[in-house]
């Protein structure tokens, strides 16, 4: 099973051009795709719904879109009728198998008056892969404050821990003769699962040499280094033999040339999948964004 995460920066590439086609080509072929900075209704990207456009470019994928940022953009026409529009910015999951359920979790946000910040979110999808299902999380953390990222990571960890005991979107059996529920409680479909195993991918805006990275995968032990424990995630790059400083996934534009390239995009897995990671790599050829796609290959038998 191949998994890829890509912060597409609303398809603005290194050449300054917008091209959703090259975004789609860069990720096509993966079994599960996580995209960040997918927008709809913004002037800078032509006002289009990029989630719909990407779905059309990748027609063989199931998809869900979860905007963390969603604000009013309607206008009144000359005839007085309201043209209903929203301005959205968020994360998208695409998968070769059905996405059985989806939830969107807004992440904690701090009002930083001197700097521009935006509401971000985690999108959860339960993806059916053959006979089994797996939880998939597409994540975008704040790029301004480490303190805010720590709050967001704490929220993410709660979401990950609490999901399996909560069960799927609908659980149990409807009471007999309940007039407020359809007689077919699950609409003829099996109850949606909430598996223990999970893939957690996205733009975390934190390089490995940060306390935020430690909060995600666990601190480095003075004697043993990084060790896998059930209460933390596993970085697929290091699990497949790469060093933590194995390469950058974000490169600055000319107007931010004082910043060094850094690895801030990751595919993580829960500890039970650590032994199933076969390889991971950064696609250094992609040109569609200021970020690069990060890929991981996970043994299907481990899912």
Query: Counting beta carbons within 10 angstroms of the beta carbon of residue 109, is it exposed (0 to 12), middle (13 to 18) or buried (19 or more)?
Result: middle
Mean pLDDT for the stretch of residues 56-64: 98
Q: What is the pLDDT of residue 270?
A: 98
Please give the radius of gyration of the chain, using alpha carbons only, rounded to the nearest integer. 20
Q: What is the pTM of this model?
A: 0.94
Convert the pLDDT of each residue in 102-146 to its tens digit.
999 999 999 988 788 899 999 999 999 988 999 999 999 999 999
The alpha carbon of 190 is separated from its chain's Cα centroid by a whole number of angstroms, namely 26
Contact between 154 and 160 under an 8 Å Cβ cutoff? The reply is no
Q: What is the pLDDT of residue 204?
A: 98
Question: Which residues have C-beta within 8 Å of that of residue 76, sequence separation ≥ 6?
Answer: 82, 83
Distance CA 38, CA 2 (A): 21
Mean pLDDT for the stretch of residues 96-100: 97
What are the helix and strand counts (H, E) for the chain? 5, 14
Convert the pLDDT of each residue in 274-303 to its tens digit.
999 999 999 999 999 999 999 999 997 766
Mean pLDDT of the chain: 93
Contact between 6 and 58 under an 8 Å Cβ cutoff? The reply is no
Mean pLDDT for the stretch of residues 179-200: 77
Question: Which residues have C-beta within 8 Å of that of residue 178, sequence separation ≥ 6?
Answer: none
What angle do the packed helices 50-57 and 20-27 form, to 10 degrees? 50
User: Of 197, 178, 192, which Cα lies nearest the Cα of 99?
Assistant: 192
The alpha carbon of 118 is separated from its chain's Cα centroid by a whole number of angstroms, namely 16
Beta bridge partners of 49: 40
User: Of 218, 268, 217, 262, which Cα lies nearest the Cα of 240?
Assistant: 268
* Residue 244: band (very low, low, confident or very high) from pLDDT cuts 50, 70, 90: very high
Instruction: Supply 204's token pair.
Output: 């975390």
Distance CA 72, CA 94 (A): 26
């Amino acid at each position: 099973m191949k998994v890829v995460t890509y912060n597409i920066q609303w398809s603005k590439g290194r050449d300054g051009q917008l091209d959703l086609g090259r975004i789609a080509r860069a990720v096509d072929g993966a079994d599960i795709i996580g995209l960040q900075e997918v927008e709809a209704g913004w002037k800078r990207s032509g006002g289009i719904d990029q989630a719909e456009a990407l779905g059309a470019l990748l027609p063989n994928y199931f998809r869900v879109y979860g905007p963390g940022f969603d604000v009013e953009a309607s206008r009144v026409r000359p005839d007085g009728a309201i043209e209903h529009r929203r301005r959205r910015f968020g994360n998208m999951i695409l998968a070769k198998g059905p996405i059985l359920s989806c939830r969107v979790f807004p992440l904690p946000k701090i009002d930083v008056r001197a700097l521009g910040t935006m509401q971000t979110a985690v999108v959860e999808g339960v993806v059916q892969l053959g006979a089994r299902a797996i939880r998939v999380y597409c994540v975008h953390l704040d790029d301004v404050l480490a303190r805010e990222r720590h709050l967001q990571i704490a929220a993410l960890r709660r979401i990950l821990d609490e999901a399996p005991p909560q069960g799927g979107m609908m659980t149990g059996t409807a009471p007999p003769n309940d007039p407020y529920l359809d007689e077919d409680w699950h609409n003829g479909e099996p109850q949606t699962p909430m598996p223990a195993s999970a893939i957690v991918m996205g733009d975390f805006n934190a390089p490995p040499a940060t306390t935020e990275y430690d909060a995600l995968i666990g601190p480095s032990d003075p004697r043993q280094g990084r060790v896998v424990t059930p209460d933390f995630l596993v970085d697929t790059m290091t699990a497949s033999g790469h060093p933590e400083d194995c390469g950058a996934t974000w490169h600055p534009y000319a107007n931010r040339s004082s910043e060094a390239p850094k690895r801030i995009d990751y595919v993580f897995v829960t500890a039970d999948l650590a032994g199933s990671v076969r390889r991971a790599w950064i696609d250094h050829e992609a040109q569609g964004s200021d970020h690069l796609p990060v890929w991981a290959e996970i043994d299907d038998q481990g899912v």
